[in-house]
Amino acid sequence: MIELRGSSWHHERGHAPMVATAAEYERLTGGAIRIRWEPRSLKEFGVASVEDLARNYDLVVIDHPHIGLIAETGCAVPVDDVATPDDLAALGAGSPGRSHQSYHYGGRQWALAVDAACQVSARRPDLLPEPPGRWDEVLELSRHGRVLWPLGDVDSAASLLTLLAGLGHPVTFADGHVIDRTAALEALGLMRETARGSDPRCLSMNPIDVLDTLSSADDFWYAPLTFGYLNYSRAGHPGRRLAFGDIPRIGAGPEPSGSLLGGAGLMISAYRPHRAEAVRYALHVAASATQRTTYLAAGGQPAHHDVWADSAADEASGGFFSGTGRTMAASWTRPRTPGFVRFQNEMIELFGDHRRWMSEPGPFLDDLDKIYRRRGSVPAS
């Protein structure tokens, strides 16, 4: 028997489906392959060193901006060394947003998408039958104290990136690119004005905190930007059922564009001995048959288009897939160059002092610009 170790992330959506697929795969291999999954926190999922994780785990659930660092260090096995072109083409065809493509870098596929997500809106349909369509409507609702927005350090950074992309000024990390000052001030203005009408706790909340609050109390009705968790829209979830939908439109276009693509990919360590076996398990998890059945039933949020297009899966998930499909299709993929992860981590630290971005947006953006210039390809002025 071969035993593999895996590092997942600590939530029913992130850990339970990995445990379920591991048990299924052990049965399918007649006990020849056993996978033991160990969860890490949601914040560690975004900022922990993937290279360090690869030294201790055969399989690592990752966030796609790490792909550039992974390619640079060589800590992962390119999946295309084992998977066939037909396998990868099938996974890429119609992938929700660019979930599958976000793990492709430098001509190689460094991980397989197993979880698809982006920032969406969430609401209590029993209290708010129709969601706001534009940001001016969100602000009006916030003035009545009904909006709750996860604005802890990680999610403030994510929301700023979403709003910049929606305003037509995404952070590209291309040569000579700078963060557009006017767009950044407008984005921070929306964040500040909405937060001022909300509970102060939102400034330290993550999406799970906000969704738990929305589903358990009647004080708040709506969150404009939060990563979607279909667990909260399924029948049987404790508390009130939530409805997930498109993000508010910020530009002139008709589509809700620019939402920061999240989700998770499954990476295979190049430092561990059983690489081929780990890749074959990863292919099993990402396959349509597994995503439609075992993965979804265990509480996962699948990254296969066959699930997103399935009316029965959509109905069982409270309309999650149809409700967020437009936002997912128009989502924005973060840069995957090695410097971006370092920039993102420092940006998160900067957002840790919410008093600065709330009360001193100009100096705050000065500091953000310095980080960007140091980590990106922009010469210092």
Q: What is the DSSP string of 321-376?
A: HHHHHHHHHT-BPPP-SHHHHHHHHHHHHHHT-HHHHHH-HHHHHHHHHHHHHHHS
Distance from C-alpha of 280 to C-alpha of 325, rounded to nearest angstrom? 29
Confidence of residue 253 (pLDDT cuts 50, 70, 90): low
**pLDDT tens track for 37-49:** 999 887 777 677 8
Confidence of residue 235 (pLDDT cuts 50, 70, 90): confident
The pLDDT of residue 78 is above 70: yes
The pLDDT of residue 206 is above 80: yes
CB–CB of 188/365 below 8 Å? Answer: yes
The pLDDT of residue 381 is above 70: no
Phi, psi of 224 (to 5 degrees): -80, -35
Q: How far is CA 111 from CA 18, 81, 84, 102, in A?
A: 15, 12, 14, 9
* In the chain, % of residues over pLDDT 70: 97
Q: DSSP class of residue 283?
A: H
Mean pLDDT of the chain: 92
pTM as predicted: 0.92
The pLDDT of residue 378 is above 50: no
Confidence of residue 62 (pLDDT cuts 50, 70, 90): very high
Q: In this structure, what is the dihedral angle of CA atoms 365, 368, 372, 375, given to the nearest 10 degrees?
A: 170
Sign of the torsion angle spanned by Cα atoms 120, 46, 288, 26: negative
Instruction: Identify each DSSP E strand in 239-302 by its residue range.
Output: 243-245, 264-268
**pLDDT tens track for 101-130:** 999 999 999 999 999 999 999 999 999 999
Confidence of residue 252 (pLDDT cuts 50, 70, 90): low
Task: Identify the pLDDT of residue 368.
Answer: 95
CB–CB of 86/104 below 8 Å? Answer: no
- Choose the weakest-confidence range: 10-19, 126-135, 243-252: 243-252
**pLDDT tens track for 159-193:** 999 999 999 999 998 888 889 999 999 999 999 99
Task: Identify the pLDDT of residue 380.
Answer: 38
**Other beta carbons less than 10 A from residue 332's beta carbon:** 20
Bigger pLDDT: 82 or 248? 248
Q: Which 3-state string (H, E, C) describes 186-246?
A: HHHHHHHHHHHCCCHHHHHCCHHHHHHHHHHCCCCCEEEEEECCHHHHCCCCCCCCCEEEC
Confidence of residue 93 (pLDDT cuts 50, 70, 90): confident
Task: Identify the pLDDT of residue 377.
Answer: 55
Q: How far is CA 268 from CA 56, 226, 355, in A?
A: 11, 29, 40
Distance from C-alpha of 248 to C-alpha of 327, rounded to nearest angstrom? 10
Task: Identify the pLDDT of residue 251.
Answer: 63
The pLDDT of residue 244 is above 50: yes
Task: Identify the pLDDT of residue 197.
Answer: 87
Distance from C-alpha of 325 to C-alpha of 136, rounded to nearest angstrom? 23
How confident is the model over 249-266, as a mean pLDDT? 86
Going by their DSSP bridges, the two strands 243-245 and 33-40 should be labelled as unpaired
Residue position matching structure tokens 């990995």: 18
Distance from C-alpha of 260 to C-alpha of 332, rounded to nearest angstrom? 5
Please spell the DSSP secondary structure of 25-51, one letter per residue. HHHHTTTSEEEEEEEE-HHHHHHS-HH
Angle between helices 181-196 and 153-166 (to 10 degrees): 130
Residue position matching structure tokens 């059983």: 274
Task: Identify the pLDDT of residue 371.
Answer: 93
- Choose the weakest-confidence range: 83-87, 266-270, 308-312, 318-322: 83-87
Confidence of residue 270 (pLDDT cuts 50, 70, 90): very high
DSSP reduced 3-state for 280 = helix
Rg, C-alpha atoms of the chain: 20
